[in-house]
Amino acid sequence: MTENRDNLWIFTFEYAGIVKVGGLGEVPANQAKILADKYKITVFIPSHGQIHNLEKKYELYKLPFNCVGQINPSHFSSNGGESNYSIAFYQLEINNVTIILLSGENSFTKRFLDDGVVYNPNTLSGKICLFSIGMRCFIEFLIDNRKKNLPEFIHLHDYHSVIPFISIKQILIKNGLDVSSIITLHLLTQPRYPIEFYRNCGINHTPISIRLKGGLKSLTLNEIFAICEEIGIENQPPTVEKIGAFVSDIVSTVSQSYLKSDIIPKCGGDLIEFKSNFVWDGCDWDYNEIYNQVLKNHEHEIRALLNLSEQNDLTLMDMKKYLLTYKIAHLDRSPLIRSEQVLQVINEISNENRFVKNGHIIAFDESGPLVITTGRISSQKGFETIFEAIPEVIKVIPDAKFLFLILPTEYSLNRIRIYSQYVKEYPKNLRIIFGVASDIFHLAHISADVYCALSRWEPFGIIALEAMASKLPVIATKVGGFKETIIDLRNFPEIG
């Protein structure tokens, strides 16, 4: 292991092993895993209510200081007047990577930093704001007490990290220091905050160094806003993603297609093109490892249920029959859903729909050719296209089975209701499991016949890599990252 490694910090709202909503969570975790021998890596993330769960698996160390003060929460909360915040920092180690979680020490702060719903629309802005304030306190603590731990590089993942980064960059510059930065924009959502919100997050008038085409230039927040304001959009501040791309030294995204079609045009154009590039996402799935893990977890029960002797090898057909006719109705635990709003909607639906119930759906009567799809519920993912295709498919393949393992959010409550109606319409062919069904996720990939990825747009699409790593053929739309990772069978029949 290299001595005197440079300090690399990662700012993210998702990290596999801590909390994960979609594909984003895999990226910083894989990044840290690969780079941990070359850099001293520290990941900063809101606790998202995970302190108690993590204490069961890891040794957590509470850092010997708190960040306390007062804030006017009017930009992110209905609470009137000033509120007191108190932020604690918890440290743990995973795979030679230091993780520091920011957690609330009083009820006001806990409401935001410790909300288990990562992107809860009711608390997200407050979570970003308090994360920013906490990071500002943390950098001040290091400057005063542990200067050797200051970062040489900071990697920001998506817009949630932008305001915290600007905040600590100001503190560094104020103390005659600076830090290099890269932002990876995984998926544009174009959030906008007024400049007053940035001020509330601890950002002041201190200018920061910005990498421009002509070299470095010191600019205040007001000047940054003025440069990034968009022509033709009146009374709207620039997106946080545009601000983040402008203030970072390097801008990256996850595919060449997304870089050219979305990131550069929507995040600054000429202001960022010279410092923009792409790095494809990766996937650490190994077929043999997954297959052996599936056998370890399920072989005994498969043989017992299907009355198969130890002398016969288990086939993928056996695994699929077990999955479809038994296991989807007998999960080891209810699929993980952190949102009370989502659970409430699913419970409402299950009262009149016996095919949709958290952890207790009805299995199929028989096995058949299996199509699976996974991912977070959003308009982006195009699940509706699959629903529309079901009647056409079953005309030709009457016993075809469709299994959706999909993640609901507060932003998709109405879609949950709509999707559930399709299960009632096609009870012999369709099942949907809402939430993280970890005990069958790999089993479904190993035993399926086809993976379906019909996104309307897709920055990269780790889901397709996971499917291909599972030796599944992928039916995908020709959009975004899919165009760069999937070889079209029609054009290359021998290798597609």
CB atoms within 10 A of CB 344: 11
In sequence order, which residues have a C-beta less than 8 Å from that of residue 367 and are 6 or more positions away? Answer: 317, 320, 321, 324, 325, 401
Coil, helix or strand for 208? strand
Contact criterion met (CB below 8 Å) for 63 and 57: no
Contact criterion met (CB below 8 Å) for 247 and 208: yes
Nearest-angstrom CA–CA distance, 125 and 196? 13
Task: Kindly report, residue by residue over 392-412, the tens digit of the pLDDT.
Answer: 999 999 999 999 999 998 889
Chain center to CA of 8: 21
Provide the pLDDT for residue 171: 98
Alpha helices in 103-208 (DSSP H): 107-113, 124-145, 162-174, 195-200
- Give yes or no for residue 304 having a pLDDT over 90: yes
Nearest-angstrom CA–CA distance, 323 and 363? 9
pLDDT over 70, % of the chain: 96
Task: Give residue for tokens 């620039």.
Answer: 238
Bridge partners of 212? 215
Contact criterion met (CB below 8 Å) for 365 and 327: no
Provide the pLDDT for residue 86: 98
For residue 126, which amino acid is it?
Answer: G
Model confidence at 345, pLDDT cuts 50, 70, 90, reads: confident
Please give the sequence-ordered ranges of beta strands (E in DSSP) within 380-472, or none if there are none.
401-407, 430-434, 450-453
Bridge partners of 86? 68
Task: Give residue for tokens 């069961």.
Answer: 56
Model confidence at 351, pLDDT cuts 50, 70, 90, reads: low
- Domain extents in the chain: 6-278, 287-485
Model confidence at 80, pLDDT cuts 50, 70, 90, reads: low
Q: Are strands 474-476 and 450-453 parallel, antiparallel or unpaired?
A: parallel
- Give yes or no for residue 164 having a pLDDT over 60: yes
Contact criterion met (CB below 8 Å) for 157 and 11: yes
Model confidence at 343, pLDDT cuts 50, 70, 90, reads: confident
Provide the pLDDT for residue 231: 62
Coil, helix or strand for 471? coil
Provide the pLDDT for residue 264: 98
Q: What is the CATH number of domain 287-485?
A: 3.40.50.2000
Contact criterion met (CB below 8 Å) for 197 and 129: yes
Q: Is the pTM of this model over 0.75?
A: yes
Provide the pLDDT for residue 196: 96
The number of C-alpha atoms within 13 Å of 405 and in the hemisphere containing its C-beta is: 26
Nearest-angstrom CA–CA distance, 357 and 445? 22
- Give yes or no for residue 93 having a pLDDT over 50: yes
Counting DSSP H helices and E strands in the chain, the numbers are: 18, 17
- Give yes or no for residue 378 having a pLDDT over 60: yes
Provide the pLDDT for residue 319: 98
- Residue with the bigger pLDDT between 321 and 495: it is 321
Mean pLDDT for the chain?
93
Model confidence at 348, pLDDT cuts 50, 70, 90, reads: confident
Model confidence at 342, pLDDT cuts 50, 70, 90, reads: confident
Question: Please, is 166 exposed, middle or buried when counting C-beta atoms within 10 Å of its C-beta (0-12, 13-18, 19+)?
Answer: buried
Kindly state the tokens that stand for 468: 């291909």
**What is the chain's alpha carbon radius of gyration, rounded to the nearest angstrom?**
24
- Residue with the bigger pLDDT between 195 and 82: it is 195
- Give yes or no for residue 386 having a pLDDT over 60: yes
Provide the pLDDT for residue 1: 43
Considering the segment(s) 6-278 as one domain, its CATH architecture is 3-Layer(aba) Sandwich (3.40)
Model confidence at 2, pLDDT cuts 50, 70, 90, reads: very low
Provide the pLDDT for residue 202: 95
Task: Kindly report, residue by residue over 434-479, the tens digit of the pLDDT.
Answer: 988 899 999 999 999 999 999 998 999 999 999 999 999 999 999 9
- Give yes or no for residue 364 having a pLDDT over 90: yes
Task: Kindly report, residue by residue over 171-202, the tens digit of the pLDDT.
Answer: 999 999 999 999 999 999 999 999 999 999 99
Provide the pLDDT for residue 282: 83
Q: Own/partner pairs for 36-39, CB < 8 Å, 24+ apart?
A: 36/95, 36/96, 36/97, 37/1, 37/2, 37/96, 38/2, 38/5, 39/5, 39/6, 39/7, 39/8, 39/153
Provide the pLDDT for residue 357: 59
